[in-house]
Chain A
Amino acid sequence: MVDNETVDKAIAASSLSSAAGFSEGDDTALVQASQQGHLAAFDQLIARYHQRIYATLYHMTSSHEDADDLTQESFIRAFKGLKRFKGDASFYTWVYRIAVNLTINFLKKRSRRSYHLSLNDMDLQIEHHPDLVMFVSENTPRRDLRIQELHQKLNEAMQKLSDTHRLTVTLHDIQGMSHEEISGIMDCNVGTVRSRLFYARRQLQGLLKDYLSHT
């Protein structure tokens, strides 16, 4: 059993580590407290990982609303299934797996209907990024439209990839995860991750050739 004092200590330590920077080492105490039903401890775990999970699911679905619902559902399922969590993988990998499986199942159901892009709900904090200047070089009143168009093209190209390829690209090229981390989340070996990444990039290169050839 985890007593309240231990929970408070874990939460205090977690808050300090969050303030200082990201640390996965002390997830164990928070996970144990959450397994006993302490929501305050689980709240800390949500605070640590929800942004990255949300971002992954957003890039998988290209929809703010769907990513929002799926992130919420993932954490709820994680909390309910915490008793089954044995600690073989890190909590982070485990919750990511839940989110990814949930999203892949969701996308299978959604594949028959068209998806909608919800870029208007997003905050494009990118206007002066040097890479964007490279891809959208025209300094004209139509520049904002060109940025919007670029993001839309990127999303459309991502949606044309298979779910597993899109997930691999999202985790590696957008989230910056290593091949090993991705293999843990996708439950496959590193070679498979590399292969998926290669084929996904080749497909993306064909889909985005207009942007690549002009630069």
Chain B
Amino acid sequence: MQDLNSKDQEKLRRLIALKGYEVPPPGYGNLLANRIISHLEVEQIRSQQAASSPWFKKFSLRPVLFAIQAMVMASLFWFGWQSLGSKHLPQTVDRAALVDRLELGSAWLRSEASTVRSQMNVHFHEVRGNLMGMMQASSIQPTLWTQGSFRPGLSHLNSYPVLNH
């Protein structure tokens, strides 16, 4: 460790010490300190808010909804796949039995349709009768009223009506 003689060492030390005069602009120190404290204050407020909010508010529903959706899709796909590949589907169909079942089904559908139609007729007559009665009894009659011109660019005329004498 004899490479550096004391004179060179001293010169070098003084040269390096000149770097100590590189200082930030005046007022910088306060700005830095204020910035650090502001940052910490914001973090403190955030952590206090997070601590005081109820647990269920911290729980985001979005991932749960996504998971449910994915599970429903997956199960539908699985059931579809199972039913397509099922061995329990009848391979042969008894024609006579099928015709009997179709006839039974169509007779039931016809009877249901006629019942619904008759019920709808009754309700339609009731509602029409009530409405007509109300309209005749009321002093307020339905009118169609429009404001201003439909022509574009003339809307300002509607705000300031001009009287022509």
Contact = CB atoms under 8 A, between A and B. Distances in A.
B93 interface: no
Nearest to B41: A39
A132 interface: yes
A58 interface: yes
B149 interface: no
Interface in B2-53: 3-4, 8-9, 11-26, 29, 32-33, 35-37, 39-41, 43-44
B35 A72 contact: yes
Contacts of A208: 12, 15
B4 A205 contact: yes
Main secondary structure, interface of B, reads helix
Q: Do most interface residues of chain A lie in helix, strand or loop, or is the interface mixed?
A: helix
Interface residues of B, number: 32
Contacts of A126: 18, 21
Contact of A135 (B18, B24, B36): B18
Contact of B11 (A42, A79, A123, A212): A212
A68 B24 CA distance: 10
A125 B21 contact: yes
B33 A59 contact: no
B1 interface: yes
Given A125-B21, A212-B11, 12 more contacts: A39-B37, A43-B37, A54-B32, A55-B23, A58-B24, A68-B32, A72-B39, A122-B24, A129-B18, A154-B15, A202-B3, A204-B16
21 contacts: A46-B36, A47-B33, A55-B20, A59-B19, A68-B32, A76-B36, A119-B22, A121-B24, A123-B22, A123-B23, A126-B18, A131-B14, A131-B17, A132-B18, A151-B19, A154-B19, A174-B19, A201-B4, A202-B3, A208-B15, A212-B12
Interface of A: 37, 39, 42-43, 46-47, 50-51, 54-55, 58-59, 64, 68, 71-72, 75-76, 79, 119, 121-126, 129, 131-132, 134-135, 150-151, 154-155, 158, 169, 173-175, 198, 201-202, 204-205, 208, 211-212, 215
